[in-house]
C-alpha cells in the first residue's frame, strides 16, 4: 500500500484528503491512500517518516512550508529559490522538497487574465510561505509586485499605507490575497483595503477557496472587478504533486 498525506497544524480546513481519495476512486488507482498528519511541531516529522510504513509523498501546509526545509535531504532548485516547500517526495529515508504552489498559482493566473495583457504591478497581501510562491510566479511573468503586511518588514508596506496613498491601488491592478482571512467559518473577515478605489480594470485573486466566494471577492464583484478563488490553484498544485510522487 502506497501512503500519501498532509502535514501541518491544524488540519481541519484541508481539502487534500478528500481530493486525493476521490481521485483514487475516479481513476481506479488501487493500493493508495491519503492521510492527514497533524503535527503540533515540525520536529515530529522524523518520527512520522520512521513510523509510517509505505509513505512515499507528503504535502505541507501552514505553518510548516518554510520550517520543513531544514529536515530535507535535498530541495528542488525552484523551491530553494522560493524559500518554501509544500510537497515532499519520500525515497527510502531520503526526503526531497518541491514547491507546487508556484506551478498551481502561475498556471491559474495565466488562465484568469486570459487573452488580456498581464497587469504591470501586483499587491501581495500577506507574507507567509505561499506568498513566496506567488512572488516567484509574478517574477517569472514579468509582473512587478509589492508585499502588504500587518507588520511590514523592510521593503514591505502596511495596510494603512494603502488607505493613505491613493496611487498604490491606482497602479496595482492585480491584488492577491495570500492570507487566511475570510476562510470558513470566519467568512466575514477580509483584508483592510480601500475597496472604494477598485475599478473594472482590477483583478482580485483570493487564494482562499472555502467559501468559493469570499468577502474579499464580493467587494470586487460589487466594484465589477475580475475575481477568482484559490480552488483551481489547489487542483493544479495537487496534480503537480502527484506527478512528482509518481515520476
Same fold, 2-99 and 102-232: yes
Averaged over successive runs of 10 residues, the pLDDT of the chain (247 residues) comes to: 95 87 97 97 97 96 94 98 97 95 98 95 95 97 97 95 91 97 96 97 97 98 98 97 96
Confidence at residue 13, expressed as pLDDT on a 0 to 100 scale: 67
Are 141 and 135 in contact by the 8 Å Cβ rule? The answer is no
Contacts of 227 (CB under 8 A, 6+ apart): 203, 204, 205, 206, 213, 217, 220, 221
**Among residues 17, 50, 53, 65, which one is catalytic?**
65
Report helix, strand or coil for 247.
coil
96 part of the active site: no
Architecture of domain 102-232: 3-Layer(aba) Sandwich (3.40)
Gap between the Cα atoms of 151 and 203, Å rounded: 25
Confidence at residue 247, expressed as pLDDT on a 0 to 100 scale: 86
- Give the three cell numbers for residue 53: 510504513
- CATH code matching the domain that covers 2-99, chosen among 1.10.3720.10, 1.10.275.10, 3.40.50.10860, 3.60.110.10: 3.40.50.10860
Exposure on the CB side of residue 31, measured as CA atoms within 13 A: 4
Confidence at residue 217, expressed as pLDDT on a 0 to 100 scale: 98
Name the residue ranges covered by the structural domains of the chain.
2-99, 102-232
Confidence at residue 92, expressed as pLDDT on a 0 to 100 scale: 87
Amino acid at each position: 500500500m502506497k501512503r500519501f498525506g498532509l502535514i501541518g497544524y491544524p488540519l481541519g480546513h484541508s481539502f487534500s484528503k478528500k481530493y486525493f481519495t476521490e481521485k483514487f476512486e475516479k481513476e481506479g488507482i488501487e493500493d493508495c491512500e491519503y492521510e492527514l498528519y497533524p503535527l503540533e511541531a515540525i520536529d515530529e516529522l522524523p518520527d512520522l517518516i520512521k513510523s509510517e510504513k509505505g509513505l512515499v509523498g507528503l504535502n505541507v501546509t501552514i505553518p510548516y512550508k518554510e520550517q520543513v526545509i531544514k529536515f530535507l535531504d535535498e530541495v528542488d532548485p525552484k523551491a530553494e529559490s522560493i524559500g518554501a516547500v509544500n510537497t515532499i517526495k519520500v525515497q527510502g529515508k531520503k526526503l526531497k522538497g518541491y514547491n507546487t504552489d508556484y506551478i498551481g498559482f502561475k498556471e491559474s493566473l495565466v488562465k484568469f487574465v486570459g487573452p488580456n495583457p498581464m497587469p504591470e504591478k501586483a499587491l501581495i497581501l500577506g507574507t507567509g510561505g505561499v506568498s513566496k510562491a506567488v512572488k516567484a510566479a509574478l517574477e517569472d511573468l514579468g509582473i512587478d509586485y509589492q508585499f502588504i503586511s500587518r507588520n511590514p518588514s523592510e521593503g514591505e508596506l502596511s495596510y494603512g499605507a494603502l488607505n493613505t496613498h491613493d496611487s498604490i491601488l491606482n497602479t496595482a491592478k492585480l491584488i492577491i490575497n495570500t492570507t487566511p482571512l475570510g476562510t470558513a467559518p470566519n467568512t466575514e473577515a477580509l483584508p483592510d483595503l480601500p475597496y472604494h478605489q477598485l475599478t473594472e480594470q482590477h483583478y482580485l485573486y483570493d487564494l482562499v477557496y472555502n467559501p468559493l466566494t469570499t468577502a474579499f471577492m464580493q467587494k470586487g464583484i460589487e466594484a465589477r472587478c475580475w475575481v477568482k478563488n484559490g480552488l483551481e490553484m489547489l487542483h493544479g498544485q495537487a496534480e503537480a504533486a502527484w506527478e512528482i510522487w509518481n515520476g
